[in-house]
Structure 1
């Protein structure tokens, strides 16, 4: 890779680590950043091992805080979404998925920023919504590691405490990323070249995990949710631009 490529790869690894440290939406930047210097497919293949090793750091910090009822409701749909992503990998352009994810995330984030602060108790979890958004999260996570946006659409209205939110999102995607290893290997995305680059990026991501854990501990709940909502909005705009531009170019 060029010098610019390595700089972007390091920034992408930092984004992955911060996400596994609890700032979940930051990870959505990783594949779009790396896609500036390589194909989205190669970018996803390089970053999957970085995600998985960073997941270990996140699990050490947060697994005790996870809301297992939320996870049990989300996982069935998410695993189905990964399977559908594998079956349709050669049929659906990545740009189309990026555009859809971007539009959904943009609408959700803009609504969250414009509406008044919610009153009353948090919204209860529902199997139907969990299955739907879990499936979207699993599918988009398989295609471009961008499952955090649909995941957040379901989980944020539950208004979990910051550490519970961080624990739940960490455990959720740790399982999904581990499952993705099989189809990624079958599709040839875990090549020796990609694994070599991933090995060099992993220490950077692990250092960023620690930084993310520290930030979550000191951020007030309102600031935490405001941060991830703005991150979702900005990343969604980026995904809309990339996806729309890619489809128009085709």
Structure 2
């Protein structure tokens, strides 16, 4: 039995904006999806419906960015992410998603403000060098990304906090991001099944929305390929600011 028309009126735009994000067009779009769909269905059900869709989007994005990656970035972040997912599973009944959104929102906004200060310094002639990799920082932010992704599909901001100061080539950055979240989402299937969230009815709703996911993910990848670094990084930081503001707003319970 098909869901109500109201569901599709909200769910199709929600999946479309997440697809654009999955294609590489900024993490803020991904944060809009679940809250938007939650206007017509319970939030936990919205998250469960999105997980299979995210995995399909990941497959499309992996194909679109198959030639681009930063192996070092990917490998240094994944161990922490796996630990974060396990931690989220173990503590899912104790810590609310809104509490995590609140913390992530504050941290992300501070991170963008730091970028704005650095940009101002560069205009003043003070050179800002890319930050080198750091295993302790990667482990910390990878853990936060894995945990936030598990509890609210909001792993983008902590991932950006670690990776954007590296100043990678935009294509390498996007390729590493796509691979990171493809692996994270695949791992999340196990605890979601264990918690009983991926039942037949939710999987059926996910299937109805898959065509939207495929088209929008490819569209996002096409737009990113046209961007120069001078446009890509300000745009991505702008998306991070929107994401942080959205997380803060949701975390405060407005």
Give the root-mean-square deviation of aligned CA atoms.
1.6
**Corresponding residue number in structure 2 for 1:100:** 103
Shift of 1:114: 4.1
Shift of 1:15: 2.0
Which of 211, 229, 237 lines up with 2:219 in the alignment? 211
**Would you say 1:143 and 2:145 are equivalent positions?**
no
**Would you say 1:187 and 2:190 are equivalent positions?**
no
Q: Is the 8 A contact 2:31 2:153 kept in 1?
A: yes
Q: Is the 8 A contact 2:64 2:221 kept in 1?
A: yes
Q: 2: distance between equivalents of 1:114 and 1:8?
A: 38
Q: Is the 8 A contact 2:100 2:251 kept in 1?
A: yes
**Corresponding residue number in structure 1 for 2:32:** 29
- What per-residue deviation string (whole Å, max 9, x for no partner) do you get for residues 75-95 of structure 1? 000000000000011111111
Which of 103, 124, 139 lines up with 1:131 in the alignment? 139
TM-score in terms of structure 1 length: 0.93
What is the count of residue pairs matched by the alignment? 246
Name the SS for the 2:163 alignment partner.
helix
Q: Is the 8 A contact 2:118 2:128 kept in 1?
A: no
**Would you say 1:177 and 2:185 are equivalent positions?**
yes
Q: Is the 8 A contact 1:79 1:176 kept in 2?
A: yes
Unpaired segments ≥5 residues, structure 1: none
Unpaired segments ≥5 residues, structure 2: none
Larger radius of gyration: 2
Which of 15, 18, 26 lines up with 1:16 in the alignment? 18
TM-score in terms of structure 2 length: 0.91
